[in-house]
């Protein structure tokens, strides 16, 4: 019995360490690979449109509930996380899907949502958020950086407690997206 218990504990820690090694933010392709974006002081965060009509796909009871969650993930998630990740920079952003870049910030973060791969099974498989990003210079409209990004819900304690629900996993994916973008903007 002791051997079985020891084996279970070892297997648990091996599995936990493998889950912990999952990449939370990955760049699939980018151009340029080392952008020089740290000197810009004001950033406008565009809308991450996660397709309002996909509400059933993600298990929401109504389209309106999913629209509310999309708004929350954009305003209270992505924009707020970037503010925390980029102290000293002025972060503003879209308040709805229809908002356009006003042209007053140094940089404009333009998102193209691709999809959410729902892989979570409770045993280590992670959901993935796939997004394309363009970082555009506000004054000239020139694209300074383009990337295809994949984020997962991988997170350290206490954020990992959110992982049992789709909304919690998506929040972690947005958090990881913010962190990865902030690294490019420092």
pLDDT of residue 1: 60
Task: Return d(Cα 84, Cα 178) in angstroms, integer.
Answer: 9
Predicted TM-score of the model (pTM): 0.86
Structure-block tokens of residue 161: 């407690």
**In the chain, where are the structural domains located?**
23-185
Task: Return d(Cα 186, Cα 35) in angstroms, integer.
Answer: 10
Q: Span 70-89, mean pLDDT?
A: 98
- pLDDT band for 2, please (50, 70, 90 cuts): low
CATH number of 23-185: 3.40.50
Residue 90 confidence (pLDDT) above 60: yes
pLDDT of residue 159: 76
């Amino acid at each position: 019995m002791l051997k079985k218990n020891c084996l279970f504990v070892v297997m648990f820690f091996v599995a936990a360490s493998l889950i912990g090694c999952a990449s939370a933010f990955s760049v699939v392709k980018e151009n340029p690979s080392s952008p020089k974006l740290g000197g810009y002081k004001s950033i406008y965060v565009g809308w991450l449109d996660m397709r309002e009509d996909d509400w059933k796909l993600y298990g929401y009871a109504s389209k309106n509930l999913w629209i509310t969650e999309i708004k929350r993930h954009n305003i209270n998630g992505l924009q707020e996380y970037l503010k925390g990740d980029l102290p000293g920079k002025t972060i503003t952003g879209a308040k709805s899907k229809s908002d356009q870049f006003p042209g007053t910030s140094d940089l404009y973060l333009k998102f193209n949502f691709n999809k959410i791969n729902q892989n979570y099974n409770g045993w280590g498989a992670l959901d993935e958020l796939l997004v394309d990003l363009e970082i555009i210079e506000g004054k000239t409209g020139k694209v300074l950086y383009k990337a295809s990004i994949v984020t997962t819900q991988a997170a350290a304690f206490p954020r990992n407690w959110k992982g049992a629900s789709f909304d919690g996993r998506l929040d972690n994916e947005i958090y990881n997206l913010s962190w990865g973008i902030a690294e490019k903007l420092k």
